[in-house]
């Protein structure tokens, strides 16, 4: 990508400190980058999913993240994890609207009654750590590989666990666990903005 090469040169020999740029100028560059990426064939939903994360002021990192996300979503693990993440987000959206509250905050491990809940919670913790470390090193391919480890646990959870349990505490805890899926995937992108 020519635009990515220019961004890389600018990052290596910056003419301007991007952290001192006015927000509206940075927004202008971000919009231009979005247009350039789309012209070069990047999916608009992936660009939006990456830009939806807070603090996306390093435009070269945005380009690299979009590329890695696109490659990941071309795999079976990527497609299936996207489906599971969207399912979790849809359930959360419906239940949060119905109940008039958000299901954020850490779930209570003492309320896990099924192996699938425990396995999912463990996988989420592992993925958060690995993906977070990979993103910190700007290794987005490794972050996507970490995300792939979440897929089997998400699939098993939805296959064997009734989210809307009759016990209100268990139900709330399971919804908080679904929110943890959403939080874990936000290490790389806002998966709710990605189209199937």
Q: How big is the chain by its Cα radius of gyration, in Å?
A: 18
Whole-angstrom CA distances from 17 to 13, 58, 103, 123, 196 are 10, 11, 39, 38, 37
pLDDT digits (tens, 9 = 90+) for 135-189: 889 898 899 889 889 999 999 999 999 999 999 999 999 999 999 998 888 888 8
Rounded Cα distance between 107 and 91, Å, is 16
Tokens of 66: 């979009």
Q: What is the pLDDT of residue 133?
A: 93
Whole-angstrom CA distances from 157 to 69, 88, 100 are 24, 10, 25
- Write the burial class of residue 132 (CB in 10 Å: 0-12 exposed, 13-18 middle, 19+ buried): middle
Q: What is the pLDDT of residue 7?
A: 52
Spans in the chain with pLDDT lower than 70: 1-24, 26-27, 30, 54-57
Rounded Cα distance between 168 and 41, Å, is 47
Q: What is the pLDDT of residue 4?
A: 57
Residue holding tokens 């896990």?
112
- What does DSSP assign to residue 19? G
């Amino acid at each position: 990508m020519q635009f990515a090469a220019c961004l890389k040169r600018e990052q290596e020999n910056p003419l301007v400190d991007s952290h001192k740029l006015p927000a509206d100028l940075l927004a202008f560059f971000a919009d231009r980058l979005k247009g350039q990426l789309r012209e070069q064939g990047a999916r608009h939903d992936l660009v939006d999913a990456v830009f939806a994360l807070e603090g996306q002021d390093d435009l070269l990192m945005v380009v690299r993240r979009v590329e890695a996300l696109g490659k990941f979503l071309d795999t079976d693990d990527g497609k299936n994890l996207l489906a599971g993440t969207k399912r979790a987000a849809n359930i959360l959206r419906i239940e949060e609207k119905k109940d008039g509250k958000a299901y954020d905050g850490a779930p209570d491990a003492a309320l896990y009654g099924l192996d699938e809940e425990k396995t999912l919670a463990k996988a989420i913790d592992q993925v958060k750590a690995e993906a977070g470390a990979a993103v910190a090193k700007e290794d987005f391919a490794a972050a996507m590989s970490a995300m792939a480890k979440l897929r089997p646990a998400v699939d098993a959870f939805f296959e064997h666990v009734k989210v809307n349990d009759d016990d209100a505490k268990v139900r709330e805890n399971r919804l908080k666990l679904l929110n943890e899926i959403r939080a874990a995937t936000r290490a790389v992108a806002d998966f709710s903005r990605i189209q199937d």
